[in-house]
Amino acid sequence: APLSNRLYTPAPPQGAMEGQDASPILYVNGKRHVMPEGKAEQTLLAYLRGLGLSGTKLGCGEGGCGACTVMVSNYDRAKGEVQHRAVNACLTPLYACEGTHVITVEGLGTKRGGLHPVQRALAHAHGSQCGFCTPGFVMSMYALLRSKKTKPTELEIEEALGGNLCRCTGYRPILEGFKTFARNAPDSAYSGETINGSADAAANGNGLNGLNGNGHAHLNGNGDAKVLDGKSSTTPICPSTGQPCTNGCGNTPAAKALGAAEDDPITAVREPIFPPELKRRVPQPLAIGGPIATWHRPTTLAGLLALKKAHPDARLVCGNTEVGVEVKFKNMKYPVIVAPTHVPELTEVTVDEDSLVLGASVTLTTLLTTCETLTLKLGPVSTSGLVAIKEQLRWFAGPQVRNVSSVGGNVCTASPISDLNPLWIACGATFEVESLDRGARRVAAKDFFKGYRSTDLKPDEVLRCVALPLTAKGEYVREFKQSHRREDDIAIVTAGMRAKFDVVDNVPTVAEISFGFGGMSFKTVSCPKTSAALTGKPWTDETLKLALATLPEDLPMSPDVPGGMCEFRRSLANSFMFKFYVDCCRRLEADGLVRDAVAAAGLDAGDLSAADRFHRPFPSGAQYTQVKDGTTVGQPTMHQSAEVQVTGEAEYADDIAKPVGMLHAALVLSTVPHGKILDIDPAAALATPGVHGFFSAKDVPNNVIGPAVLDEEVFASEYVTCVGHPVGIVVADTQDIALEASRLVRVKYETLPAILNIDEAVAADSYHTWPGFTDHGIEDGDVDVAMAECEAAGRVVEGDARCGGQEHFYLEPMVSLVWCGDNDDLITISSTQAPQKHQKLISSALKIPCNRVVCKTKRLGGGFGGKETRAAFLNVCAAIPAFHMRKPISLVLDRHIDMAITGQRHAFLGKYKVGYSPEGKILALDMMLYNNAGNSLDLSAAIMDRALFHSDGAYKIPNVRVKGRCCKTNLPSNTAFRGFGGPQGVIFAEMWMDRVARKLGQPVEKIRHINLYEEGETCHFGQKMESSQLRACWDEAVAKADIDSRRAAADAFNAANKHRKRGIAATPVKFGISFTALFMNQAGALVHCYLDGTVLVTHGGVEMGQGLHTKVAQICAAELGIETDSVYIAETSTDKVPNASPTAASASSDLYGAAVTDACRQLNERLAPVKARLGPEKSKDFKEVCTAAYFARIDLSAHGWYTTPDLVWEWDGTKGRPFNYFCFGAAVSEVEIDALSGDVNLLRTDIVMDCGDSINPALDVGQVEGGFVQGAGWVALEELKYGDPDHKWIRPGTLFTAGPGSYKIPTANDIPLEFNVTLLHNAPNPRAVASSKAVGEPPFLLANSVFFAIKDAVCAARAGNGLNTDITMDSPATPERVRMACGGPISDVFYDSTNAPAYRAKLTC
């Protein structure tokens, strides 16, 4: 039937305009480019970087991180307007951009020419740390502003950033910076009222809820708030200094400029203009051939059908979000690609009184906005299905994916975990397909999906449109989805449900009911048995029971099902059914169709929240710091690289200008976890055009390496001991050729037995044993006697606990660039935290002196420990061909390879026994720790040592015995990660502390408090608590959080809600600062003063986003009495400062700040006579001082040196002082869980962190927030899955979670709704430079508060279900662990929680 209301009708195809250039073109930042031929396989990202636009980053290659975000603009001829959208350049095909204007971050602003308001807002809000993700955030925000006709709301801003990941900042400063563009924001988010409001709240010690948005309270050394004179002042506050803005940065309301029309002459000078040629240009069919693939772009339906008939195997591509991933990661070959994006019939959107019809090429963003528009226009009765689709799309991928992905592509991909296909089935949608010869036919959605990623489409057919019926009165549709992460994540289980009711005598009867489920089978399935069983039944409790009994028959699942989580997935399906039951009852009553429908259905008020949709307000919070007056140290100075990071000008290792003749390398990696190499045949690879060589163990002069002990090989010579073990390296003209050739190297193995987890290692007695390095223990007091007394009194808890590993997920993948000089000297630029290790290992492998190897690092796009040792062996691999061929070699790892071979945080198993007093004082601890070290020792022994040091948590225990073993397994060697074993030791301490409290029936925070260390008490390894701020942090945190009243409120909430529960927890932090290998606690620095009064500093530390260079510059400036801007920090290089320790252990500011202080002391001593001769006034001009010193022939260069004093430790049973000092902190977190799905919402976190006298409060707050959010990921979200005995559906030894598609780090949607951070005031540290304290690692442990808040909520759910609350819950607390630990009658069908211990999900450990 003809459709009456056309919501969108595309312009019909037209001939080319007169004189139109037939060449395929695009514009980039206003410059016209003719597209190269034969590049159908090339992505927009590769093209842009080939143009030298390196601000667009390659973070993952699968559209999952947003680092490659750019804005693509095209002219919609039908609407007569320019459309702007953010896209992932890493997936977007180059030819898909024909006729468009691409804007990259370089097109907005530069440091020299001036920052764009979006760039300025982010930089000045301290929203850029490592900076690798920053251009992507800038472009996502910019695209949002350009695409909207009005200012966005705060929630629209958060949603626009949903496809962008940041591993450093914790997102809060990014959201705060961009909030200035929101519809309800003032011209400056830093108004005087905001500052005053924060100051008032700080003075009161609470009242944070009263803040309107985010605020800063900068307190001076006396604890007084610095506010503006007069509360009505409109002078904006500079976000960097907290002072009235003097440079105009706060006076420009960027949103006003961006809201102007495109042809506004004022705006035109700020915004890239859409090229007039593209407005006149009429899209024409494209057919661009090439050696790998041919690209077709038809502009008529007939042309599309003819192409499909001629090329039945052709892949249709709109967003390339599926095909692009298949080509890159699954090595699929598609010689013919057809883009149906310009076929008018496929982009049409129409609606009539019965249905909505969507062309197959309609983007998901258009679908979302269409649903929003029609919901408002048509009202709730007919749009129940549209609301369900709209809500489901809110959590579907990120905006960059939705902007290009099509309805038809989503349908025809036929993913078994599709978000939308279950809704098409439930809603009774029909798909219209068409071929050139047979014409059109219609297929019901429920009959369309035939098997795993297969459909009813014939080879010559295309999907033309989707017809979605509108709903009627008494007809309800509901969407459900549970994933590991709420935002931008694939589903674990997804569902669509629809019910239509007949109501007679106030009794609702099911007239129709239909279901669609994803994640429950190899395809999207309906549930015919359940539908038939429920049809005609009254909507009562008995019908619900029938549904819950019948659904498992429709959705059978074996325990070893691919994807695992069998019990959880089946529980989710039934939980969704219960939610739908409640939702329908609530709506029947609300719509006036059934009186008292809720009560008649056997429900009460406590059940209703089960059906609530998740809606999250924009986060808020406050940061309380102290700012010192009269010195550069203590000021919240902006990160020195922030402005070049927001403009994309900051260079990372893969961004530098490439040397002439550079070749690209790719590793040949083992595919088995343990095997003997029988043969390596590179013939096929070497025969590939463009390949220059293959190198293996025989080409390495000294093949044995290792960061701590020599137990590794550069390339495997005889045996491989993990999947991903390097066997060789291929060198070629391009990275694509090298990767393709690496897959052609044939390696034959004799497969050997593999050990894949801790349990197997313990059973096989498989440990790394190196005398002096491993098998350490610490003992204090008399554990046996104390434990025996506790056991006799029945006051012992005993058990085991596990915590999983964690991927570093630094946004910048591993990069190495190596070239050989004319005298067998090597220079390398790499992304590493430890240039000296690279120098040492390259020298050793090539048997050349260290003085001929120079390793340089300018900045890292994140490190977190992952680039300390594992980057070194990759650099050695690249050095081998560089040395032999005398050619520059570049080795850049793809994200999935980086994750698969470079190791992660260690998984741990802890077996403990704890004795305690009647009051809850811990009297004895006996614990054995095991870590999964992997196939080599790496740093696992030192990591275990730190776990032993921190196994007391923050608690005084008079009798302690802790031991540790490093398990030798056939997984890639695990390595350093922020906290270095400390987090694992501490979380185990909190686990048994939580159990002790629950055994005693006491509030957990009370038991934690009475066990906290007191000043002067001694740790189990002999170090005394000196200048302890532990209790000060704890007391302030619990006071600011008002924990008692909030616990009472949580209890009241839990009593009123059966299926949603809240939990709250407070946890302390005590973290030792120093390398536990004592020799590493040394540092050097060079300080050069120049005649213009500027200073150049070179030190051994690496800038990786933590602000080390900025802090060192502040320290140098303070020591020399100059401004911070006069100090420049040069790149880190082994030919400037030799033998530098890795930038790790949170000690770099202490070490290099002290070394620079020493150098400045020397300079000041030399300059003192000069200043005396010049007099007080002239001495204020450092330029004049330097010039006078130069003419007096005084050395203006100094080498500073520092060694950490008083450190004493040996693993010989004696006590000592392994740490320079301790950092302290405390956090209180509150969560709300959905006990039916396992979903977790972090409501609020209050942190108090001891940073001493902060060198830079802004940077320290950033480290606290970023460390906390990264820690929250570890304890509540991120889960590694390897093929092991618990995950038999994964290939043995293979990492399944390799990439952002399957491994989920926190997004902006996962941070606390209220996020308050206080840096403890008036707590100077006498043992570090400028009385400061380290801040890199300690905040990570604050996230334990999130884990135990989740457990508190789980225990509330278990109590409500009549279950025991003394349970062991392993980390991370994923939705599976949360849901199944809650128990209850729905999940009891699949796991009997009543008669068995609490469910413990399988964990790679």
Helix H, strand E, coil C: the string for 1054-1115 is: HHHCCCEEEEEEEEEEEEEECCCCHHHCEEEEEEEECCCCCEEEEECCCCCCCCHHHHHHHH
**Nearest one of 547, 488, 472 to 515, comparing CA atoms:** 547
Distance of alpha carbon 940 from alpha carbon 955, whole angstroms:
25
Quote the tokens at residue 21.
């250039």
Distance of alpha carbon 532 from alpha carbon 1371, whole angstroms:
42
Burial class (CB in 10 A: 0-12, 13-18, 19+), 1078: middle
Contact (Cβ atoms closer than 8 angstroms) between residue 644 and residue 650: yes
Tokens 């004795």 belong to 915
Contact (Cβ atoms closer than 8 angstroms) between residue 708 and residue 752: no
Chain-centre distance for alpha carbon 167: 5
**Nearest one of 1251, 1243, 1248 to 1226, comparing CA atoms:** 1248
Distance of alpha carbon 651 from alpha carbon 534, whole angstroms:
63
Contact (Cβ atoms closer than 8 angstroms) between residue 1286 and residue 1214: no
Residues sharing a CB contact under 8 Å with residue 405, sequence separation 6 or more, in sequence order: 318, 319, 321, 363, 364, 397
Q: How many CB atoms lie within 10 A of CB 504?
A: 9
Residues sharing a CB contact under 8 Å with residue 761, sequence separation 6 or more, in sequence order: 755, 767, 930, 932, 967, 968, 969
Distance of alpha carbon 1032 from alpha carbon 1250, whole angstroms:
9
**Nearest one of 567, 603, 568 to 583, comparing CA atoms:** 603
Contact (Cβ atoms closer than 8 angstroms) between residue 831 and residue 872: no
Is residue 812 part of the annotated active site? The answer reads no
Number of alpha carbons in the 13 Å side-chain half-sphere of residue 86: 31
Eight-state DSSP code of residue 521: S
30: left (phi over 0), alpha (psi -120 to 50) or beta: left
Sheet architecture: strand order including 826-830: 691-696, 726-732, 663-669, 889-892, 815-820, 826-830, 853-857, 1132-1133
Contact (Cβ atoms closer than 8 angstroms) between residue 1393 and residue 1363: yes
Q: Which secondary-structure segment (H or E) carries 305?
A: helix 301-310
Catalytic residue among 567, 868, 1337, 1376: 1337
Quote the tokens at residue 977.
């990660």
Residue 7, amino acid:
L
The bridge status of strand 908-916 relative to strand 796-803 is: antiparallel
* DSSP assignment string, 556-610: ---TT-TT--HHHHHHHHHHHHHHHHHHHHHHHHHTTSSTTHHHHTT--HHHHGG
Q: How many CB atoms lie within 10 A of CB 908?
A: 28
Number of alpha carbons in the 13 Å side-chain half-sphere of residue 1382: 34
Residues sharing a CB contact under 8 Å with residue 1212, sequence separation 6 or more, in sequence order: none
Q: How many CB atoms lie within 10 A of CB 1322?
A: 12
Distances in whole angstroms, Cα of residue 548 to Cα of each of 491, 522, 529, 556, 1257: 21, 22, 12, 13, 55
Number of DSSP helices (H) and strands (E) in the chain, helices first:
42, 48
Which residues carry out catalysis?
1337
